[in-house]
Amino acid sequence: MGKQKTRLTVEEVNGAWAIIPTPAIEGSEDWRIIDTVDYDEVARSVAGLIDAGVDGIMCQGTFGEGATMTWDEKKKMTEVMVEASAGRVPIFAGVTTLNTRETIVQLKHARDIGADGTMLGVPMWQEIDVPGAVQFYKDVAEAVPEMAICIYANPEAFKFSFPTPFWAQVADIPQVVSCKYINIAQLQLHTMVSRKQIRFMPLEFDHKDAARMDPEFHTAFWSPCACTGPELTIHWRDIIKEAVSTGDWSKPDALYPRLMSVLSNLFPPGGFAEFSRYNIQLEKERINAAGWMKAGPCRPPYSTAPEAYLAGATLAGTGWAELNEMLKVGSL
């Protein structure tokens, strides 16, 4: 059992929180492969992200393939991540399952091996209502009170809209300290109704607007891009922090359109809803194309996607890698 830690608080959730895929060995698209995880790449990537300066790491969400990994794979991967991190940054394990009891079993394991919390979505087989969703998080918090919870608010994945009444109620759960958040249009409303008891972490490229809305509170974001070269993610974090301090937003304002011109390639016609149909395949294609991390193939059954979509994901990956190289030589 890992050393007992003090539970992470809202005030301690700041900066760039990287979300990583689960690296797969060659051939992992074949259902006959028993253990598909490239554990050496897990350890290398976790150490590399921390050395680059990320503030936390989350795993085993959607493009982390939490839904297509076996329990044995999830256990060992989490153990490797915790060992590689050596307590330098918080590790939040993904333990979303189809029911409350299995989620609790997995979260207790994460606690026992020294993880700091969980990125946790609601069970996704049957559509859940607000009272059921709130009770789910209450039950998990009661069962494993030592662990911090980052609510994984992806409406497409979980068939739940995460409406305002939900946030008003889960704000009363002390273990709920953050949220992996998508809809920045409602960010201020949800921040208000949660009484700032939850750190809403917007997507990386929305961090600039969030920090402008409320610079004292919106101090963290989740990053799917750190695994395509973390230096640019850290630079983005730091120039926004500098802008908050000085009032001069010229650097993030200049970089933003360059980031978006690259990242827009990832999203096919139809926007986020269409992207969500191929989230795993496109994200792993993007990460593999960038070359910083070897994400490997996708696990079954999520292994096919339209070629045009994959081509866009490749451009998003290579484009980020090019920006990252420009940053390193001082030409960005």
Write the pLDDT tens digit of every residue in 171-180.
Answer: 999 999 999 9
Q: What is the mean pLDDT of the segment spanning 254-272? A: 94
Q: Is it the case that residue 183 has pLDDT exceeding 90?
A: no
Of 196, 87, 278, nearest to 179 by C-alpha is 196
Question: Residue 2 pLDDT more than 90?
Answer: no
Integer-rounded Cα Rg, in Å, for the chain is 19
- Each domain of the chain, given as residue ranges in start order, spans 10-245
What average pLDDT does this structure show over 288-306?
97
Mean pLDDT, the chain, rounded, equals 96
Classified as helix, coil or strand, 144 is coil
| DSSP tally for the chain: helices H, then strands E | 13, 8
pTM: 0.95
Q: Please give the structure tokens belonging to residue 82.
A: 């915790």
Using alpha carbons, list the distances in angstroms from residue 319 to 235, 239, 258, 291, 322: 16, 20, 10, 11, 5
Res 5: pLDDT: 72
Question: What's the pLDDT score for residue 39?
Answer: 98
The pLDDT tens digits of the residues spanning 75-128 come to 999 999 999 999 999 999 999 999 999 999 999 999 999 999 999 999 999 999
The mean pLDDT of 250-269, rounded to a whole number, is 96
Band (pLDDT 50/70/90 cuts) for residue 272 is confident
Q: Is the pLDDT of residue 156 over 50?
A: yes
Average pLDDT over residues 185-192: 94
Banded pLDDT at 1 (limits 50, 70, 90): very low
Report how far residue 251's alpha carbon sits from residue 187's, in angstroms, rounded to the nearest whole number.
Answer: 23
146-164 burial, b if ≥16 CB within 10 A, otherwise e? ebbbbbbbbeebbebebee
Rounded CA gap, 259 and 239, in Å? 14
Secondary-structure class of domain 10-245 per CATH: alpha beta
Q: Is the peptide bond before 215 cis (omega within 30 degrees of 0)?
A: no
Lowest mean pLDDT among 163-172, 227-236, 271-280: 271-280
191-241 pLDDT tens trace: 999 999 999 999 999 999 999 999 999 999 999 999 999 999 999 999 999
